[in-house]
């Protein structure tokens, strides 16, 4: 992660990045969830609203083809139909699983997989601890979900896992409520065909790899758990001896 911190500084943001339009409504929701005084109930409520907007925005990048249907008035309507085989969601535990309900709300019968990646407290490097993916995922468009991405180390490991399961790089969509520029550049440099979609990008991370100005540790604020000392925003911490 230290190497990622010094790379890609002052570079323009990649073309594969799409940021949800910062309307007054979106800005207002960010104001609430970024405020350290916001109650847990309010944090959860407005985070869920942002997640729904993020998912809907991401689905607009899926491939569609022309199709014609017949309306109840007996008239033809020239519309669009999803041109892929299936959509699968994969959440990076634990914060990423909070985005699953928003995905299920808009994608009927979507399949869900999970990946647990933890940061080794001694080495500072991400480690894969658990993996459960649906069968035959290689033909699907995969929505990879994590609520915050700071350095991008965990996200890159998750993308590598999907590639190892034969998911084409251009069928992977990385979704996050908040990303640091470092994480955006790191993922885009390593995987230039992965589409990166978020509601906001903050410019910096601090020495503890926390996004600045940031949102705090999303999982702790959402689940009401105590923060891990010196932990980054994006990954759980594994203590190994």
pLDDT reported for residue 7: 57
User: Rounded to 5, what percent of the chain is helix, strand, coil?
Assistant: 35, 30, 40
pLDDT reported for residue 237: 43
CB 25 within 8 A of CB 47: no
Question: Looking at residues 64-90, what average pLDDT do you find?
Answer: 96
Among 4-8, 103-107, 135-139, 163-167, which is the least confidently predicted range?
A: 4-8
pLDDT category of residue 239 using cuts at 50, 70 and 90: very low
Whole-structure pTM over 0.85, yes or no? Answer: yes
CA distance 112 to 17: 24
Question: Which of 124, 117, 119 minimizes the C-alpha distance to 94?
Answer: 117
What residues does each domain of the chain span? 1-223
Topology (CATH level 3) of domain 1-223 = Rossmann fold (3.40.50)
Report CA Rg, the chain: 18
pLDDT for residue 94 is more than 80: yes
CA distance 158 to 82: 25
The SS3 call for residue 187 is: helix
Q: 12-67, pLDDT tens digit by residue? A: 899 999 999 999 999 999 999 999 999 999 999 999 999 999 999 999 999 999 99
CB 222 within 8 A of CB 98: yes
């Amino acid at each position: 992660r230290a190497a990622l911190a010094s790379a890609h500084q002052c570079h323009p943001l990649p073309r594969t990045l799409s940021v949800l339009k910062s309307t007054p409504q979106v800005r207002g929701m960010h104001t609430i969830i970024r405020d350290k005084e916001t109650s847990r109930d309010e944090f959860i409520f407005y985070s869920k609203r942002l997640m729904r907007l993020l998912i809907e925005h991401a689905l607009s990048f899926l491939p569609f083809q022309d199709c014609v249907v017949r309306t109840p008035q007996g008239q033809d309507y020239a519309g669009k139909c999803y041109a892929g085989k299936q959509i699968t969601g994969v959440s990076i535990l634990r914060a990423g699983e909070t985005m699953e309900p928003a995905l299920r709300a808009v994608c009927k019968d979507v399949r869900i997989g999970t990946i647990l990646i933890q940061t080794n407290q001694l080495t500072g490097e991400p480690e894969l601890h658990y993996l459960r993916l649906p069968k035959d995922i290689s033909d699907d468009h995969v929505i990879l979900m994590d609520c915050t991405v700071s350095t991008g180390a965990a996200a890159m490991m998750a993308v590598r896992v999907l590639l190892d399961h034969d998911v084409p790089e251009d069928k992977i969509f990385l979704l996050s409520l908040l990303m640091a520029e470092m994480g955006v550049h790191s993922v885009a440099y390593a995987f230039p065909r992965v589409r990166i979609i978020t509601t906001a990008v903050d410019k910096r991370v601090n020495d503890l790899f926390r996004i600045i100005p940031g949102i705090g540790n999303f999982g702790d604020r959402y689940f009401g758990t105590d923060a891990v000392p010196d932990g980054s925003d994006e990954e759980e911490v594994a203590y190994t001896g």
